[in-house]
């Protein structure tokens, strides 16, 4: 099966170069790979892309040798591992507040003995059964090591439990969601801050040998998170690039009025 660039980077102690996609733009996959990104975060939590179009984007990721990490709109077990069968390299699950939910997710998307994912063997991830059962046996020997699970901590409750979440076998990474966490901290009766949440996550992941990360909007924040030990860093995407381009083009018209 295809090897994960994300996991290769993590195992080498390197930063994973991630960008975000929330719309059906097949060419984006090629461009992200061309410019050296390792992984595309495909956001289906806040964006709506048809199932067939998702399958097409995942096929493009194999064609251009770049990981796609799907953030799904569901926790339904069979739908979660269908994304992996269709070619996703990893999943990122929002709002994981405790170790019990993390364990449930591992059970859903990892094969035995680690989890209880159902076996088909005829998906893109297993080369559509083209090599028959010997190919499936080879696939099963690699699949748990070449697919990944990232869980998002986005509430004060999750940060308080971050060490227990990081300790769960089968959780490969933890991703701090500063938008949702910042919103909830405004209503939290305690001394937790975004800075302390990042520090607690970094410490927990270091203790348990897990990767962690977050979105980073500027080069300065990128460098700050790297200094804290973060490897899963999402910088750039279709929405921000579109806004920036339109802003620049509109300014060109403003600077050349007729």
Q: Using one digit for the tens of pLDDT, what is the confidence trace for 139-156?
A: 999 999 999 999 999 999
Decide if pLDDT at 208 tops 90: yes
pLDDT tens-place string over residues 117-176: 999 999 999 999 998 988 899 999 999 999 999 999 999 999 999 999 999 999 999 999
Q: For residue 255, how many C-alpha atoms fall within 13 Å in the half-sphere facing its CB?
A: 6
23: annotated active-site residue:
no
**Across-strand partners of 175?**
152, 213
How many angstroms separate the CA atoms of 45 and 155, rounded? 17
Task: From the candidates 46, 60, 187, 235, give the one annotated as an active-site residue.
Answer: 46
Tell me if 145 sits within 8 A of 11, measured CB to CB: no
Residues 143/111, Cβ–Cβ less than 8 Å: yes
Residue 205's pLDDT is: 98
Here the CATH number for the domain that contains residue 76 is 3.20.20.60
Residue with tokens 């992941």: 205
Looking at the structure of the chain, the number of domains it has is 1
Q: Which helix (H) or strand (E) holds 71?
A: strand 67-71
**What pLDDT, on the 0 to 100 scale, is given for residue 138?**
92
Residue 101 domain boundaries:
5-255
């Amino acid at each position: 099966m295809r090897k994960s660039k994300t996991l290769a980077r993590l195992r080498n102690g390197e930063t994973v170069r991630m960008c975000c996609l929330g719309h059906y733009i097949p060419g984006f996959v090629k461009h992200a790979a061309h410019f050296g990104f390792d992984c595309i975060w495909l956001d289906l939590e806040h964006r709506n892309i048809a199932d067939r179009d998702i399958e097409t984007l995942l096929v493009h990721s194999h064609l251009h040798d770049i990981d796609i990490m799907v953030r799904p709109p569901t926790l339904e077990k069979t739908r979660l591992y269908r994304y992996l069968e269709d070619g996703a390299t990893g999943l990122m699950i929002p709002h994981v507040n405790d170790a019990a939910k993390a364990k449930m997710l591992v059970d859903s998307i990892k094969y035995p003995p680690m989890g209880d994912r159902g076996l088909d063997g005829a998906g893109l991830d297993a080369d559509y059964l083209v090599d028959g059962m010997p190919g499936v046996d080879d696939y099963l020997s690699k699949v748990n090591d070449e697919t990944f699970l990232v869980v998002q901590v986005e509430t004060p409750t999750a940060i308080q439990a971050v060490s227990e979440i990081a300790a769960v076998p089968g959780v490969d990474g933890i991703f701090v969601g500063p938008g949702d966490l910042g919103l909830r901290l405004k209503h939290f009766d305690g001394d937790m801050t975004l800075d302390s949440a990042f520090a607690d996550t970094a410490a927990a992941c270091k203790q348990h040998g897990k990767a962690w990360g977050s979105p980073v909007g500027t080069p300065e924040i990128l460098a700050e998170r790297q200094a804290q030990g973060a490897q899963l860093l999402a910088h750039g995407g279709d929405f921000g690039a579109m806004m920036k381009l339109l802003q620049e083009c509109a300014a060109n018209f403003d600077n050349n009025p007729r």
